Structure 1
Amino acid sequence: MSSTSSDVVVESAPAAPAPPRALPSGLAAFLVFLSSGAVLVLETVSLRLVGPYVGVTLQVTSSVIGMALAAIAYGAWLGGWLADRRDPRTMLAPALVLAGIATALTLPVVRYAGEMLRGGAAGGVLVLTAIAVLVPAGLLAGITPLVVKLQLADLRRTGQVVGRLSGIGTLGGITATLVTGFVLVAALSSTAIVLGLAAVLGVTGLALGAYLRRRAGAELPGPGRIRAALAVLGLAGAGLSAVAPNPCDVETAYHCARVEVDPQWDQGRYLYLNSAQHSYVDLADPTHLKYAYVQWIGLVADLAAPKGQRLDALHLGGGGFTVPRYLAATRPGSDNLVFELDGGLVDLDRRELGVRTGPQLRARVGDARVLLDAEPTDSRDLIVGDAFGHLVVPWHLATREMVAEVRRVLRPGGIYVQNVIDLPPDRFIRSELATVATEFRHVAAIAPPGAIAGKYGANFLIVASDTPLPLTGILAGLRGLPEEAGLLYGDEFTRYVGDALVLTDDHAPVDQLLATA
């Protein structure tokens, strides 16, 4: 019996390639902190970039937040998808550099597009905010999953790694939001913030690329043509930023402000806030009131007390200080106290609009509602409400609780006037009239007849008091003004207001009421 034998050769399967080496823990944390924080800087500054073109309303704010969240969602998804298909080390540095370039390009693209999308139409708001946020924020959001992939060398520590980096990213966003809102916006222009952020991202990306290549040796390809292409894009972005139209002469903490000389009168000055014509000031004649609604305020003020008699007046919103200057000039000895949220605007008024503060004209910087709470009861003869965020009365200055505070500060027989802008179907002005009427026994409204009829948008002036209004004097005064205006009072006022919503601190949908049907 014989037997045979044979040798069986078993080939071992090729070893799986070693996973890319993890980043040092500190570097990984820094990249996540920086990229997450940069997204929130972009989100905050985007409101200032788009504001001059579409205003700063609830819809604009919501659109910016929504676009930033969309960028984070899609950027994180795409970054995770790429991290599973390519070595994340090859993508981290280019993503940072591209994010820097996209950030720099945001300035000229928003400014050129903004000129074409001026106004507050919903479509324009969405397009402009998408242009401002989506691409750079999406690129930055993709960095965190790339870093997480590199750090997941031990599956037993997955939860710890992901949780730690997620927490660091959130801390980066919180830090960036607070620093931008409290420090950067107050100290720097939007241009400086955006270009500074772009430079930080670009330099960080280049430094990271050099570091990773040295660390990996031959494992990572050199930059080759990619670096040249990125350099060209960066130069193009810088060039476009330099020549892009800038709608601001001065950027304050709240406004993009511009002052223009009246071509018809070299002493006249127009004040633009966020590209909306806000005030007209005659440097030579403070009694020159150009706009119709300001003439109405002047008319009511002149009827509030005999001509020349001093008045204790409180102004909620300063703008160009047109009405306070008028009262100081026509009623010597009057006390005009102006509450203005924007200290930078007060400085601009002093510098370019001839505002001189002193005993008859004082300016206090802060929120009008907060400052009003500290005013003594029965201390003012006239209160003028003329505060706006773009073309919208801030909601907390339009509620019943706010009107109650106004009534508390007014002396018996004092008059409250409030400037409101509305468009057909005039839901906001009706609601505001209903709101004021809950606190004052006598309320009327001045507006162009066509605006009262709902044919077009315009300024409305609410006039309110606890004692009967000088309606005969108002009607006679309106007939003497250049532009026709009507007066709503009595039964006509009641029919106009109808069952309009009374605004309260609990429910004041001002932006929605202003939206056209």
Structure 2
Amino acid sequence: MTDHDGREAASLGDAAAAGLVFGSSAAVLVVELVALRLLAPYLGLTLETNTLVIGIALTAIAIGSWIGGRAADTVPPRRTLGPLLAISGVVVAATPSTVRAAGASGSDDLVLLVAAAAILVPGMLLSAVTPMVTKLRLTDLDRTGAVVGRLSGIGTAGAIFGTVVTGFVLVSTVPVTGILVGLGAALVVSAVAVEVLVRGWRFGIGPAALVVVGGLATAVVPDECDVETTYHCASVVADPERDGGRTLVLDGLRHSYVDVDDPTHLEFEYVRTIAAAVDTVHPDDRPVDAYHLGGGGLTIPRWLAATRPGSRSVVSEIDPGVVQVDRDRLGLETGPDLQVRVEDGRLGLGRLDAASRDLVVGDAFGGISPPWHLTTSEAIAEVRRVLTDDGTYVANVIDYGPLDFARAEARTIAGVFEHVAVAGDPDAFRFEGGGNLVIVASDVPIDAAGLTSRLSERDVPWRVVTGTELRTWIGDARALTDDRAPTDQLLTPYAVAS
């Protein structure tokens, strides 16, 4: 086989061809999955973010395959494989630094633009590898179908491998930065090997130097995470005004505040509201058996243990890394009265005995959005199942603007429990604001006046809405179900500046 200049092209054996197709296809999926985690601190873990990243990756694959196939007929593939891999490697290795630099600007549009480029460029270039390799391997027209089919199957296998290894191994063991810089280095090393194999050693010198660019860029831009956990970019920020005060930040959001010296200190208004609700339904300060959907900094479980000795709390926290941060940085100590289970909250609910809890606290979020499967009628029915006859469910939700999600969740909970109250900033009930709202539900009447009084005692200037006023506020919002729970579409995650 000769190239377009009439010179003999170096052969590309079956093993090398299979390795290039397998590896490039796997790399595209690694970039796609890791991009979701890299974007979470700036755009949140929402359905829209997932859809955006998947859409960009599929677009890159389609464009790269199409253009790569056409280019293979006009440009000698042996001259293009090395540059395709090398440029992809540099872009991938530089992605963490460029995305975080964009995030530091505070512009979501810039983050989207940089992230799109970081997915599109390597996705297109790596997807062009398969048609290039296919062109090199098509030395016998009688075997066209076999060659194309084999390489297509190998590419699909590579994509599956990249998906499985990233989801089950890499993300849980290697920081996001390490994954991308390591992948970028591997791609550039592959470029060097390909250049040496098909063109000669002197052509490998240039690509070998390129990986330094990505490494230096990553070293220059600081990492905003103290720890990259399985699900979050996590950091702990000390409170300069309180010696023991610590804020747990997950994906750029202030998730929990813990005073490691004084667990009775509750900083956030919504946390003080949850405490006020507990004190309202259990005014005698007796111990309670509680279950917590979501852990975070475990502020409420610690508060219960400190203010109601003998209380027993079971916490379902899906992220083992967050639990480790709690132990290492926030002074968490577990035992028989405070158990933390690393598990999905919906599955954790199903493992609890019926009528075994006096209190269930719902405070689980992936970024600004709650996991949809914890918001549905079926999930709330499970909450009701584990509560005693006079038990109480207290849920934190966040919404702004028309409050479509908050009203739908209130409707959903009201469809399961006989009595519901919602506490929030007065502007939220006029659709002029929003933020955190706390929903309190039980099958026994809720003392709204008592809750309002306890909020005042805790310096929380919120209103409590029940009965007809609550039904009017909920309006025509539809209950969420396992079959239909468009939480990300209903949610307005941030206040809109007027």
TM-score tier after normalising by the smaller chain length: over 0.9
User: In the alignment, which residue of structure 2 is the partner of 1:235?
Assistant: 212
Q: How far apart, CA to CA, are the structure 1 residues paired with 2:110 and 2:59?
A: 18
Paired residue secondary structure (1:266): coil
Q: From the CA coordinates, give the structure whose radius of gyration is larger.
A: 1
CA distance in 2: counterparts of 1:138 and 1:117, whole angstroms? 28
Choose which of 253, 260, 263 in structure 2 pairs with 1:283.
260
Aligned AA (2:239): D
| Post-superposition offset of 1:481 | 2.9
Residue 119 (structure 2) aligns with? 133
Residue 455 (str. 1) matches residue 441 (str. 2): no
C-alpha displacement of 1:378: 0.3
The one of 100, 112, 136 equivalent to 1:111 is 100
Residues 51-450 of structure 1: pairs in structure 2 closer than 5 A? 51-117=40-106, 123=109, 126-214=112-200, 223=203, 227-228=205-206, 230=207, 233-450=210-427
Q: 1:268 to 1:118 in 2, by over 3 A?
A: farther
Give the AA of the match of 1:199. Answer: A
Q: Which moved more, 1:360-369 or 1:152-161?
A: 152-161
Residue in structure 2 matched with residue 8 of structure 1 by the alignment = none
2:467 corresponding residue in structure 1: 490
Query: Deviations along 1:450-480, whole A, 9 cap, x unmatched?
Result: 1221112310100000111122210211222
CA RMSD of aligned residues (A): 1.9
How far apart are the structure 1 equivalents of 2:385 and 2:58? 43
CA contact 1:20–1:87 (8 Å) conserved in 2: no
Q: Which amino acid aligns with 1:387?
A: A
- Matched residue of 2:163: which SS? helix
Q: State the match for 1:24 in structure 2.
A: 13
TM-score with structure 2 setting the length: 0.95
Deviations 1:487-511 (A, max 9, x none): 1101100100111111000000000
The one-letter amino acid of 1:131's match is: A
CA–CA distance in structure 2, aligned partners of residues 411 and 124 of structure 1? 50
User: What secondary structure sits across from 1:483 in the alignment?
Assistant: coil
Residues 50, 128 of structure 1: 8 Å contact kept: no
Give the deviation of 1:21 after TM superposition: 5.9
SS of equivalent to 2:199? helix
Match of 1:280, SS state, is: strand
Q: How far apart, CA to CA, are the structure 1 residues paired with 2:277 and 2:409?
A: 19
Helix, strand or coil: the match of 2:244?
Answer: strand
Deviation at 1:155, TM superposition (A): 1.8
- Structure 1 residues 19 and 162, CA gap change in structure 2 (3 angstroms): farther
Q: How far apart are residue 64 of structure 1 and its match?
A: 0.8
Please tell me whether the aligned partners of residues 110 and 131 of structure 1 are also in contact (alpha carbons under 8 angstroms).
no
Displacement of 1:483 after TM fit?
A: 3.2
What amino acid sits opposite 1:319 in the alignment? G
- Aligned partners of 1:388, 1:263: CA distance in 2, in Å? 27
Amino acid at match of 1:76: S
Q: Is the 8 A contact 1:97 1:202 kept in 2?
A: yes
> Secondary structure in 2 aligned to 1:208?
helix
State the Cα deviation string for residues 318-339 of structure 1 (Å, max 9, x = none).
0100000000001111111111
Paired residue for 1:6? none
Secondary structure class of the residue paired with 2:150: helix
Secondary structure in 1 matching 2:243: strand
> Per-residue CA shift, 1:123-153, capped at 9, x if unaligned?
5564243033111222111111100111112
| Cα distance in 2 between the residues matched to 1:457 and 1:41 | 37
Q: Secondary structure at the match of 2:146?
A: helix
Superposed displacement of residue 222, structure 1: 5.0
Where does the alignment leave 5 or more consecutive residues of structure 1 unmatched? 1-14, 215-220
Shift of 1:16: 11
Q: Is the contact between residue 307 and residue 331 of structure 1 (CA under 8 Å) also seen in structure 2? A: no
After superposition, residues 474-513 of structure 1 pair within 5 angstroms as 474-513=451-490
- Contact 1:317–1:338, Cα closer than 8 Å, also in 2: yes
Equivalent position amino acid for 1:190 in 2: V
In structure 2, how many angstroms separate the alpha carbons of the residues matched to 1:290 and 1:372? Answer: 28
Contact 2:192 / 2:208 at 8 angstroms: preserved in 1? no
CA drift of 1:405 comes to 0.3
In the alignment, is the contact (CA less than 8 A) between 1:63 and 1:125 conserved in 2? no
Question: What SS does the corresponding residue of 1:420 show, helix, strand or coil?
Answer: strand
CA distance in structure 2 between the aligned counterparts of 1:446 and 1:128, rounded to whole angstroms: 40
Contact 1:432–1:503 (Cα < 8 Å) also in 2: yes
Q: Is the 8 A contact 2:61 2:127 kept in 1?
A: yes
Structure-1 separation of matches of 2:126 and 2:385 = 51
**Count of matched residue positions in the alignment of Structure 1 and Structure 2:** 491
Alpha-carbon spacing, 1:484–1:128, altered in 2? closer, same or farther (3 Å): farther
1-side partners of 2:457 and 2:408: how far apart? Answer: 29
Structure 2: state its 5+ residue gaps. Answer: none
SS in 2 for 1:246: coil
In the TM superposition, what is the alpha-carbon distance from 1:227 to its structure 2 partner?
Answer: 4.2
Matches of 1:124 and 1:419 in 2, distance apart? 31
Distance 1:390 1:73 in 2: 31
Classify the secondary structure of the residue corresponding to 2:63.
Answer: helix
Letter in 2 for 1:213: R
